[in-house]
């Protein structure tokens, strides 16, 4: 009877909660971005690809 009164969520429930919270936080922080962020090396690699092609 004591085990049924005190229930602790399973580890997978904690993990799922953390994943959902992380997704919501990242979506909230990214709501003001108009376009994806481009790193400098991506610009370099695109120029290299153009010079090869």
Model confidence over 1-53: pLDDT tens digits? 555 556 767 888 999 999 999 999 999 998 888 877 778 888 899 999 999 86
* Structural domains counted in the chain: 1
Rg (CA), the chain: 22
Domain range for residue 13? Answer: 2-52
Q: Among residues 26, 48, 24, which one has the least CA distance to residue 37?
A: 26
Handedness of CA 38, 41, 45, 48 (dihedral sign): positive
> Is the pTM above the cut of 0.75?
no
Task: Output the CA angle 24-28-32, nearest 5 degrees.
Answer: 155
Q: Which two tokens stand for residue 26?
A: 């990242």
């Amino acid at each position: 009877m004591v085990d049924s009164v005190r229930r602790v969520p399973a580890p997978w429930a904690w993990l799922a909660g953390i994943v959902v919270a992380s997704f919501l936080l990242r979506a909230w922080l990214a709501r003001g971005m108009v376009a994806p962020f481009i790193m400098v090396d991506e610009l370099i690699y695109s120029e290299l690809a153009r010079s090869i092609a």
